Amino acid sequence: MSNHNNFLKLFGCCLEFRFLVFVFEYAELGVLNWQGDAMVNGEDAVLPWSVRLKIAKEIANAVTYLHTAFPKIIIHRHIKVTNIFLDKNWTTKLSDFSLAITLPEGESRIEVEGVQGTLGYLDPLYNSTRVFLAM
């Protein structure tokens, strides 16, 4: 996914520490806060609706790519504001694939053992049935 504009790019990792250290591209405007606002010039800035709509469109573009660009559909499972970064051009960058799963090739649904993700951001159908449907 490193060639897609709406993902935070992973440059590499270091295995020399007790925990893995990942090196990502620098997103100058940082991560969105829990309210969906950004830090601009050191202060929380309420984003205008035009910027919020742009962010939503770019996240939809990234999710569409995950669902259509590979033989196996990738389900992110962790899309929330604190996993969305903005670069200096206000381009949206989706991150954190720690909960991502793939559907078997040719399948459009998968049942998982346990529900994972952040309450409030989970698909209600997935939360109640533990089944993902790719639409």
For the chain, what are the domain ranges?
10-102
Q: What is the DSSP letter of 82?
A: G
Q: How many CB atoms lie within 10 A of CB 32?
A: 21
What string of pLDDT tens digits covers the 135 residues of the chain?
A: 568 999 999 999 999 989 999 999 999 988 998 888 887 777 788 899 999 999 999 999 999 999 999 888 898 989 999 999 999 999 999 999 989 989 888 888 888 888 888 888 888 888 888 887 776
| Annotation: CATH topology of 10-102 | Transferase(Phosphotransferase); domain 1 (1.10.510)
The answer to whether residues 4 and 64 touch, using CB atoms and an 8 Å cutoff, is no
The answer to whether residues 79 and 62 touch, using CB atoms and an 8 Å cutoff, is no
pTM for this structure?
0.85
Residue in the block written with tokens 């601009």? 40
